[in-house]
Amino acid sequence: MIIINAAKLVLTGNKLNDKMYRRHSGYPGGLKEVPYKKLMQIMPERAMEHAVKGMLPHNKLGAQMYTKLKVYKGETHPHQAQQAEIWTIQ
């Protein structure tokens, strides 16, 4: 699946300021938290990947489906040969 225009992702309510992207290095005190407002400025692709990964099944099939996900910040992507169909969501 190819997702383009990840930079146009919209969060409703006050989630842009309140919601945190968390990751842990595995070491004591290794929790890193970044607010979504900052994440959307730096890496909007990561925010979209995180949202889609949460919607997939949490098993081997979901992991395999996640490997096929390609997310791009803007309109351009290198997958023109696959003749991707455009889905408009309203």
| CA dist 67 → 2, 5, 11 (Å) | 11, 19, 25
Q: Domain ranges in the chain? A: 2-82
* pTM recorded for the entire structure: 0.77
CATH 3.90.1180.10 fits 2-82, yes or no: yes
Confidence check: pLDDT of 80 > 90: no
pLDDT digits (tens, 9 = 90+) for 4-51: 888 998 989 999 999 999 999 999 999 999 999 999 999 999 999 999
* pLDDT score of 4: 86
Residue linked to tokens 């309510």: 13
The mean per-residue pLDDT over the stretch 49-62 comes to 95
- Measured between alpha carbons, how far is residue 37 from residues 4, 10, 20, 43 in Å? 19, 11, 9, 10
| Per-residue pLDDT at 77 | 82
User: Residue 84 has what pLDDT?
Assistant: 66
Spacing of C-alpha 58 from chain mean position = 16
